[in-house]
Chains A and B, each alone.
Chain A
Amino acid sequence: MRGVRLTAGLVALGLGLAACGSDTAAPGGGPGTPAASSIKLGLAYDIGGRGDQSFNDSAARGLDKAEAEFGIDIKELEAAAGETDAQKEDRLRQLAEGGYNTIIAVGFAYAPALKKAAADYPDVKFALIDSEDAQGPNIANLVFAEQEGSFLVGVAAALKSQTGNVGFVGGVNTPLIQKFEVGYTAGVKAVKPDATVQVKYLTQPPDFTGFNDPAKGETAAKGMFDAGADVVYAAAGGSGNGVFKAAKANGRLGIGVDSDQYNLPALADVRDVIITSMVKEVDVAVYDFVTSVKNDKFTAGSHVYDLKAGGIGYATSGGKIDDIQGKIDEYKAKIVAGEIKVPAQK
């Protein structure tokens, strides 16, 4: 009996060592391996992870596209709610130590962790999505002009509102989400200067549950509807589901965020209230980054995905804004041409 266990243990150990061996050998590239496979891509998700129907899924789409096209080795790691910067740093180091030479950190929460980790692995190329707080010779900051997209959905909200009263539900009161709010408000005021914009953030940092609590989203949106709003923009991750539920129950309208939420299966039963979504092409950014590394064209520093670059946009699925699309596109053209400068901060 003991002998059997010992043998099993040794076999397991041997397998483990073999696995380690093959891992460390891979970056060198065996004979006949195409150049592309010299990229080993690690991706660390934000809270929510793959399958969040929103921000992380968008990153995952870019990853899948890169994988399908280049056939590269990929490792994905998930974040947990309420974790510390040290845990995030460990995750990045784990990837770097595992031989992953191209690492993408999804979400601004990774900034402090990435700053520390990137300094210790100068040969590894990092991408940080949504933040410019960590800079370095091996860090590419993939940021979006969310305020521009939010401006356009603000225009849509103002045009669709009959009461002249619209709402904004933010998940967590962070500088990133404030960009959404500021752009949205500017868009609403551009069409109707005297319109009321109700603003509510579900939680205050460091409490990040506001991105993940549909019950709170529903209560906040219901409050806005009771106070006269008829269109509410949900920049609140998973809590947005509650906003749409409240909109449906009260016969009002909602605006989605990050991906084209009208087409998400999880929101199929409330989608008829989603008139448009502010779309953030995280997948494009991820794919571009991987391509640049693959072609040895990596450049550190900020890469801004704005309306002009096609990294930001608004969705038209469902045909709810077909009648006003012309007007929205007028504003879009003005922003692209630089005639309208959308503020990013209060």
Chain B
Amino acid sequence: MSGGVTLEQKAVSAKRGKRLSPMVYLLIAVGALAVLSLVRVLSGATDLTSSGTVQAALIAAVPIAMAALAGLWAERAGVINIGLEGMMVLGTFGAGYAGYQWGPWAGVAFGLVLGVVGGLLHAVATVTFGVDHIISGVAINLLAPGAALFLSKLYFADAPGGGQKQSPRIADAEKITIPGASDLLGTVEAKRWFFVSDLAGVLRGLTTEVSLLTVLAVALLVLTAWVLWRTPFGLRLRSCGEAPTAAESLGVNVYRYKYLAVVASGAFAGLGGAFLAVSSGQFRDGQTGGRGFIGLAAMIFGNWRPGGLATGATLFGYTDAMALRGSGAVHALLLLLGIALLVVAVIQYRAGHHVLSGVAAAIGVLFAWWYFTSDEVPPELVGAAPYVVTLLVLGLASQRLRVPRAIGVPYQRGQGV
């Protein structure tokens, strides 16, 4: 959430100096929630930290986070995967096809399989044949929706409750609620106390009606972080994205690792699509709506790291949920942005980036002024909120993005210099 803004900031500055301890991260999170709470009290927009918003944010963030993870796997091995959107579309179709017949989990599995097919296609094109990564990705983005539409006409048009462009209904995955906690937190949330109620709202959102799909997504995020950063396999995979010829000279089979990475990427993207279809209750033509690209942006926002991309996806999910749930809360978001930008300005000033600090401060004041002189954000701009927030954060906080060094570079065995 907005905690991510400062979190990301710290993570970036951490690279310059020593690593921050978990305690500091916790403090930053508490500080961010305090700011959020302050804005809520000032603006009266209770939806800023309500459990409903947190729930909606989680649901919206999951497909984006999966797409971002998919991007992470491919790009860490040096393959740009702009075909995420297409692979997600394949995943939504797979989930629709298997989901309505054999239940949500079969849908998830089948979505994953179709995602793998998309990933394999990308791997064959880019790794084996050395096709430009962007071209292959764009081709997949064009091919996948067409294929999904063709297949849906074939399989769904005559199915009961289906149509040419939509599947019959898929049952939702199981949802879990922590029994006592939810009610207790609900009572505290309703009191509207400063900070305590906000914390209760967030916690309640995280413990009430949480889909098992969300739990699985979080588990996959942790698993990815562990595999890529804590195992020899992960080290080798990342070495293929940084210096493939060096990896080759050390006996790493770069082709195999790139293949594995891109196939895993397809699997994650397919999962993202499947999660979306299952939680929406059906496959619909065009339902991904650019979430694959947003996932890619979340990954870049997260500096090609799992924690960062999770923050990015949550930020997208949060602003998206806010924009959909009511424009009153979006109006409060203006004030929040203003305060966050002023914090960024102070941090940048202390780091010696005076120009950047000035720009952040100016925009921050502008947002605060906008908040105090208006009653609501025009609906035309509400939908743009997630993108504006991300652009600002990308532009002003994450100055030091580090791209995997050999990304997008075609690799041929034995031809390294």
Contacts and interface: CB of A to CB of B under 8 A. Distances in A.
Interface string A41-81: 00000011111110001000000000000000000001001
Contacts of B165: 48-49, 51-52
B56 A242 contact: no
Contacts of A268: 161, 169
Interface stretch (B260-268, B273-281, B331-339): B273-281
Contacts of B284: 212-214, 238
A214 B56 contact: no
Interface string B54-69: 0110011000000000
A238 B166 contact: yes
Contact of B280 (A204, A220, A242, A269): A242
B290 to A, nearest CB: 8
B88 to A, nearest CB: 13
Interface in A160-181: 173
Interface residues of B, number: 40
Contacts of B162: 51, 266
Given A51-B166, A209-B286, A203 B383 contact: yes
B113 interface: no
Nearest to B153: A51
B282 A214 contact: yes
A209 B47 CA distance: 25
Contacts of A242: 280-281
B166 A209 contact: no
B285 interface: yes
Given A207-B383, A226-B325, A53 B56 contact: no
Contacts of B168: 265-266
Contact of B279 (A57, A203, A215): A215
A216 interface: yes
Nearest to B152: A51
B169 A222 contact: no
Nearest to B322: A223
B129 to A, nearest CB: 28
Contacts, number: 117
Contacts of A238: 166, 284
A119 interface: no
Contact of A219 (B56, B160, B164, B281): B56
B326 A223 contact: yes
Contact of B324 (A81, A202, A204, A269): A202
B289 interface: yes
A82 interface: yes
Interface in B145-166: 156-157, 160-166
Interface residues of A, number: 44
A214 B163 contact: no
Contacts of A216: 324
A269 B169 contact: yes
Interface in B35-61: 47, 50, 52-53, 55-56, 59-60
Given A51-B164, A226-B52, A266 B169 contact: yes
Interface string A234-277: 00001001100100010000000000000011111100000000
B62 to A, nearest CB: 10
A209 B284 CA distance: 11
A52 B287 contact: no
B163 A215 contact: no
A296 B276 CA distance: 50
A207 B280 CA distance: 19
B416 interface: no
B326 A51 contact: no
Nearest to A201: B379
Nearest to B60: A219
A218 interface: yes
A219 B166 contact: no
Contact of B282 (A51, A78, A203, A241): A241
Nearest to B383: A204
Most interface-central of B160, B282, B324 (chain A CB within 10 A): B324
Contact of B56 (A204, A213, A222): A222
10 contacts: A78-B164, A173-B379, A198-B326, A212-B289, A219-B56, A226-B47, A227-B47, A227-B326, A241-B280, A267-B161
Given A214-B281, A222-B55, 8 more contacts: A49-B164, A51-B156, A52-B165, A53-B166, A209-B289, A213-B280, A216-B324, A265-B160
Interface of B: 47, 50, 52-53, 55-56, 59-60, 156-157, 160-166, 168-169, 172, 209, 276, 279-282, 284-287, 289, 320-321, 324-327, 379-380, 383
